[in-house]
Structure 1
Amino acid sequence: MVKTQFAMDQAEEKRTTSHHEDMKEETTHQAAERGHVATDIYGHPLVHFDPAAESRLRWKIDLCIIPTVALLYLFCFIDRANIGNAKIAGLEKDLKLKNYDYNAVLSVFYISYIIFEIPSNICCKWIGPGWFIPAISLGFGICSIGTAFANNIHTISGVRFLLGIFEAGMLPGIAYYLSRWYRRSELAFRLSLYIVMAPLAGAFGGLLASAILKLDHFGGLHRWRMIFAIEGIITCGLSVISFFTLTDRPATAKWLSQEEKDLAIARVKSERIATTEVLDKLDLKKTLRGILSPVTLVTAFIFLLNNITVQGLAFFAPTIVQTIYPKETVINQQLHTVPPYVVGAFFTVLFPFLSWRYDKRMIFFILGSPLIMIGYIMFLASTDSQVRYGATFIIASGAFAFGALCNAHVSANVVSDTARASAIGTNVMFGNIGGLISTWSFLPFDKPNYHIGNGLNLATSSTILILSICLLLWMNWSNKSREQTAVDEELAGLTQQQIQDLDWRHPSFRWRP
C-alpha cells in the first residue's frame, strides 16, 4: 500500500512541475500560510521551488544575517577565552591565585553556562532571537569589562559566573536562529560561518592581546586588565549595533519582498512533516521530543567529548605553548598560539561545506576524530618542541568542525521548531559539561608534558570515533525498519495536533545521517 501511494505521489510530482509559473507562486504562498501543510503524510513536499529563486534568496539571507551573528560570536568566544591570554600576562600573580585556583575560576563560568543552557534557548524562542541575541551580547560585554576590575579570586569568580549566564544562550541561540532561515542540508555550512569564529577567536584573540599588551596603559588599567576592558568595550558596541541589524524571522524581514518571505517560509516548512506553521507555540511534549530523541542524546554526548578538547585548547593553548617555548617573550608566546587556530578555522568551514554539498554529517564525525587522536598520540609519544607544536595543528584540524556539525545534526533530526530549540539547547548543554571537564584536564602538577590532559583527550577522541560509527549504523537500521511501517494505519484516528506532536516518531520521518 505504501509503495502504491508513493507511485501516485511521484505521478503527482510530475504533474505539479508542469504547472504554469504563476501557479507555483500561488502554491508557495499557500504553503507559507499558517494552517497549511507543505508535505503529504509520507513526507514528500507538496511544493516545488525554482532553484534559481532559492539560490538568490539564500545569497541574500547569507549577506544580511551571517556577518552580524559571526562578529557577535567572535567576541563571545574572545570574552570567554581571553582569560588564557591574561593568565600568562600576570593575572595569576596579581590576584594571588595558587594551586588549583585558576582551574576553579574557569569552572565557575561553566557551572552557570550549563545550568542556563536549555532555559536560555527556550527564552530565545519565546522572546525572539532578534532581541534576545543582542541583549545577551551586551550582557557578556559588560561582564568582560567588569573582569578588568577584579582584585581577588572571589570577585573574578563572581564576574565569570555572570559571564556564563549571558553566554549560555549564544551558541544554541544563533544555531536555533539560523534554523529559521535555512534548509537542513544548508544549515551545517551556515553554522560553520559563525562557529569558525571560535578558532579565529583563538588566533585573533592572541594577536589582539599581543597588541593590547604593547600599550602602556588604558585609562587607569595596566597589563592583563587592559585585555578585558578593551575587548569588552568592542563587544558592547557590536551588540548595540545588532539591535538594529538582526531580523527576528523571515516574516519580519524588511529587506525581503513578500514573494521572498513566502519562499523563505515555505521551503523550510516543506522539510517538516505535518507542520502547519514554522514557528509553533511552546509545547512541553515537543520540547521533550527534542531533548529525548536518541540522535540528540548520542550527538550531545559526542559534543561533550569533543568540547573537552576544544575548550581545553581555548583555555590552555597559551600555557601549552609556554611550555614548548619557555625562553620566548610573553608576546611571542601569544603569537605562537595563532597559526594552529588559523588551520583549525579552515577545516571548521571545509567539513561543513562538504556536508552541505552531500547533505551528510555523520561521515565527517568519523573523519574528524582520527585527526584529534593522531595529535594527542604525538603529544604523548614525544617531548620534542617541534613535534608537539605540530600536533596542535592536527588537533585543531579535527576538533573545531564538530560545533557546526553536531548542532546541524540534532537540528536536522527533529521536526518542529520547539523540538529544534530544545534539541540544540541540549546538545550545547552537554558540550559545556565537556567544557567544565576541560578546565581540570591540564593540571599544574602535570606540566610540562601534561600526560593526564593529553591522555584524556586521546580517550575522548577515540570514544567519539566509536560512537559515531555506531550511531550511523543505528540510524540506517532504524530507517530500514521504518520503511516497513504502514503509515495510514499508524496515523488512523489521530487529529492534526496529535500527528504534529509525534515529531520524529512520525512513521514517515526518516533519520538524516
Structure 2
Amino acid sequence: MELQVPHQSSNRPESLEPLSSNASTAKEENEIQESEIQDIDPSVERRVRWKLDLTIMPLLTSVQFLANMAKSDLGNAEVAGLTEEMNLNSKEYSDLAIMITVGYLIFQIPGTMLIKKIGPPYQFGGAMIAWGVFTTCVVAAKSLGSLMALRFLTGAAESFIHGSLIYLSFWYRYNELATRGAFFDGTAALAGAFNGIMAHSIQVHLDGKNGWRAWRWIFLIEGCVPIAWGFVVFVFLPSSPDKMRSTSVFSPAEKEILIQRSQSAHNTGSSKIRPKAMLEVLMDPTFWMLAGIDCGVHVTTAALTNFLPPILDGLGWEDEKAQLMSSIVYACAFVNIMFCARVADKTNKRGILIVANCCVALVGFVMLLAITNDTTRLVGTCLIAAALMPCLMLVIVWLAMNFPGYSYRTSSIAFINVCAQLFGILGNKVYADPPYYRQGLAVSAGMTVMVGILAIGLLWRLRLLNKKKDLEKDSQNSLELSLLSIDEIGNKHPEFRYVY
C-alpha cells in the first residue's frame, strides 16, 4: 500500500502558521512513528510475525471455525430429520434459516465498534460461551417459535466476533492482512466441510440414541465445544500490542516492534466512538460501492450455508450422502480462498480478483440452471462456492485498507456487515423452491453480475481519486490537511493513496 506520512516543511504558506497544538502534536507523532517503523530489522520483524502466526492466528482461527460450524449446522440438521420431526414446510424452514442473520443484523454495529472498549478476549470468549449455550438449548426445542428464538440469540452472540479483521489489523501490516484474513475466512469453508463429515457420522451412529433424532445430537455436540473453548480464548488471547504483557513468547523489545507495526496500520485512535467519522463513512461513495459488492456476494454465500445440503439432496445425493458431498464443495472453496489471498497480498490487487471470480461463478450458475446431469451440476456448485466465498475476504480487506484510522475502519466494517446481513436475509428467502432452487439461483446469478460491474466501476473510481490527489498535492487545501493525522481525517489525508 502506498502510504507516506507527511513531513513538516519550514517554508509552508503564511496562512498555515497558526496551527493548533493538536495538529502539531499529531504531525510530530506521525513523523516519529514512521521513522521508528522504517528502522525495524527485517529479520527481527520476520521472527515477530512468525510468532504471531503461531500464537494469535490459531486462537482467532478457532473462534471463526466454531462460529461457522454453528452457522452451517442448520443445513445439516435439515437433512438429519429436523423438518420432518418439527413438521416444517419450505417457507417455515426458510424463515428459520434467516433468524441467525436477523441476530447478526441487530447487534452488528455494537459487536464491531465496541471491540476496544470491551476487549477482544472478553468479547470473543464471552460470545463463544453464549452462542454455545444457545445452540445446546436447541435440543430441548419443541416448536418452530422456540427454534427461531434460539437461532436469533445464536446470531446475536456471534455478531460480537465480527470485528475479527479489526483485531487482526492490531497486529499485522496492510500487506499481510489478506493472507491472515483468509485463514479465518477460509474456516467458513473448512467448517462447512468438517460439519458435513461430522453430521454424516452422527446420523449414521447416533440417530435414535436416547430417543433423539440425529439433528438434536448435531446441535448438542456443536454447542458444547464452543462453551469449553470460549474459556481458553478468554484466558490466552491478548487484547492488543500496547496492552500485552511481555511474556516468554514476546520479549519487551519484540513488544515494542508489535506496537510500531500497529501504528503503521493506523490503529492508534482511541476506543471512543466518533459520530462524525461514522457519518463521513456513510457519505463516501467508495463505501457504498464496496457495500454493494459485499451485499451481492452475500445473497449467494448466506444461502449456501443453510441450503447447500438440501440443494445437493435435490441433485440426487440423499440424507447423509448430501452431507458428505457438501464437504467437497467447501473444500474447493477453501483452496481458492487461500490462493486468492496470497495473490492479493503479493500483487496488492483485489478488485481484479473479484471480477475474475465473478466470471467463474457465472459459469457455475449456467451449469446449474441449464444442465440436468447431476455430476455436472455438482461441478457447477463447486465453482460457485469456490469463486464467491473468496470475495467475502477480498472485499472486507479492500474496505479496511481504503478506510484507515480506527474510527473510520470500525465504522465502515460495522456498516458494511449490516448491509450484507440484510441481503443475506434476501438470499435465504429467494431459495424457496426446492428441489432445484431455480429462483434462488437466478437471483444469485443476477447479483453476481452486479458485483462484477461494481468492482470494475470501483477500480476506475479509485484510480481517478489517486490521480486527483497527485494533481492537488501542492494545493492550499492539501497542505492544510497534511497537518492532521490519518486517524483524524482518514482517507482524505493528502498522502494516503487508495488501493485497488
TM-score (norm 2): 0.89
CA distance 1:40–1:221, shift in 2 (3 Å): same
Give a deviation string over 1:195-236, Cα, whole Å, max 9, x none: 101111111111111112222556564321010011100111
Q: Does 1:421 align with 2:410?
A: yes
Cα drift, residue 473 of structure 1: 0.6
Q: Does 1:317 align with 2:304?
A: no
Superposed, which structure 2 residues align to 1:34-113 within 5 Å? 37-39=29-31, 47-113=38-104
CA distance 1:34–1:334, shift in 2 (3 Å): same
Instruction: Give the counterpart letter for 2:74 in structure 1.
Output: I
CA distance 1:241–1:72, shift in 2 (3 Å): same
User: Which residue does 2:166 correspond to in 1?
Assistant: 176
Q: Does 1:267 align with 2:261?
A: yes
Give a deviation string over 1:27-75, Cα, whole Å, max 9, x none: xxxxxx999623499x999734322222111111111111111111111
| Cα distance in 2, alignment partners of residues 219 and 66 from structure 1 | 38
Contact 2:287 2:412 in 1 (8 A): yes
SS in 1 for 2:471: coil
2:375 is aligned, of 378, 386, 389, to 386
Q: Does 1:338 align with 2:330?
A: no
Contact 2:26 2:484 in 1 (8 A): no
SS in 2 for 1:439: helix
Aligned-pair identity in percent equals: 26
Instruction: Give the counterpart letter for 1:363 in structure 2.
Output: I
- Between 201-210 and 288-297, report the one with greater CA deviation: 288-297
CA distance 1:441–1:216, shift in 2 (3 Å): closer
| Cα distance in 2, alignment partners of residues 457 and 494 from structure 1 | 43
| Cα distance in 2, alignment partners of residues 147 and 351 from structure 1 | 37
SS in 1 for 2:409: helix
CA distance 1:378–1:334, shift in 2 (3 Å): same
User: Which residue does 2:15 correspond to in 1?
Assistant: none
| Cα distance in 2, alignment partners of residues 302 and 127 from structure 1 | 30
1:455 is aligned, of 438, 442, 449, to 442
1:360 is aligned, of 349, 352, 356, to 349
Instruction: Give the counterpart letter for 2:331 in structure 1.
Output: V
User: Which residue does 2:180 correspond to in 1?
Assistant: 190
1:159 is aligned, of 138, 150, 154, to 150
Contact 1:49 1:267 in 2 (8 A): no
| Cα distance in 2, alignment partners of residues 334 and 200 from structure 1 | 14
| Cα distance in 2, alignment partners of residues 201 and 210 from structure 1 | 14
Cα drift, residue 130 of structure 1: 2.0
Contact 1:203 1:337 in 2 (8 A): yes
| Cα distance in 1, alignment partners of residues 311 and 271 from structure 2 | 47
| Cα distance in 2, alignment partners of residues 55 and 498 from structure 1 | 28
Cα drift, residue 6 of structure 1: 9.3
User: Which residue does 1:475 correspond to in 2?
Assistant: 462
| Cα distance in 1, alignment partners of residues 77 and 371 from structure 2 | 28
Contact 1:133 1:173 in 2 (8 A): no
Instruction: Give the counterpart letter for 2:426 in structure 1.
Output: I
| Cα distance in 2, alignment partners of residues 322 and 133 from structure 1 | 35
User: Which residue does 1:512 correspond to in 2?
Assistant: 499
Contact 2:122 2:234 in 1 (8 A): yes
| Cα distance in 2, alignment partners of residues 481 and 377 from structure 1 | 41
SS in 2 for 1:93: helix
Cα drift, residue 92 of structure 1: 1.1
2:426 is aligned, of 425, 437, 440, to 437
| Cα distance in 1, alignment partners of residues 351 and 425 from structure 2 | 25
Contact 1:285 1:501 in 2 (8 A): no
2:251 is aligned, of 257, 264, 270, to 257
| Cα distance in 1, alignment partners of residues 277 and 134 from structure 2 | 34
CA distance 1:190–1:280, shift in 2 (3 Å): same
Cα drift, residue 488 of structure 1: 6.6
Superposed, which structure 2 residues align to 1:218-237 within 5 Å? 221-237=212-228
Q: Does 1:464 align with 2:451?
A: yes
2:190 is aligned, of 192, 200, 213, to 200
Q: Does 1:402 align with 2:391?
A: yes
CA distance 1:393–1:312, shift in 2 (3 Å): same
CA distance 1:116–1:84, shift in 2 (3 Å): same
Cα drift, residue 450 of structure 1: 2.2
| Cα distance in 2, alignment partners of residues 169 and 48 from structure 1 | 36
- Between 93-102 and 483-492, report the one with greater CA deviation: 483-492
| Cα distance in 2, alignment partners of residues 35 and 468 from structure 1 | 34
Contact 2:37 2:264 in 1 (8 A): yes
CA distance 1:40–1:56, shift in 2 (3 Å): closer
CA distance 1:488–1:180, shift in 2 (3 Å): farther
| Cα distance in 1, alignment partners of residues 193 and 353 from structure 2 | 24
Contact 2:7 2:31 in 1 (8 A): no
User: Which residue does 1:377 correspond to in 2?
Assistant: 366
Contact 1:413 1:512 in 2 (8 A): yes
TM-score (norm 1): 0.87
Cα drift, residue 125 of structure 1: 2.5
User: Which residue does 1:285 correspond to in 2?
Assistant: 276
Contact 1:210 1:331 in 2 (8 A): yes
Cα drift, residue 259 of structure 1: 1.6
- Between 52-61 and 255-264, report the one with greater CA deviation: 255-264
SS in 1 for 2:79: helix
Instruction: Give the counterpart letter for 2:369 in structure 1.
Output: L
Instruction: Give the counterpart letter for 2:261 in structure 1.
Output: R
1:351 is aligned, of 336, 340, 349, to 340
SS in 2 for 1:508: coil
Give a deviation string over 1:62-121, Cα, whole Å, max 9, x none: 111111111111111111211111111111122222241111112222222112111211
Contact 1:414 1:504 in 2 (8 A): yes
Cα drift, residue 366 of structure 1: 1.4
Instruction: Give the counterpart letter for 1:426 in structure 2.
Output: F
SS in 2 for 1:181: coil
- Between 330-339 and 45-54, report the one with greater CA deviation: 45-54
RMSD after superposition? 2.6
Give a deviation string over 1:150-180, Cα, whole Å, max 9, x none: 111110011111111111122x311111011
CA distance 1:35–1:491, shift in 2 (3 Å): closer
Contact 1:265 1:278 in 2 (8 A): no
Contact 2:60 2:184 in 1 (8 A): yes
Instruction: Give the counterpart letter for 2:172 in structure 1.
Output: Y
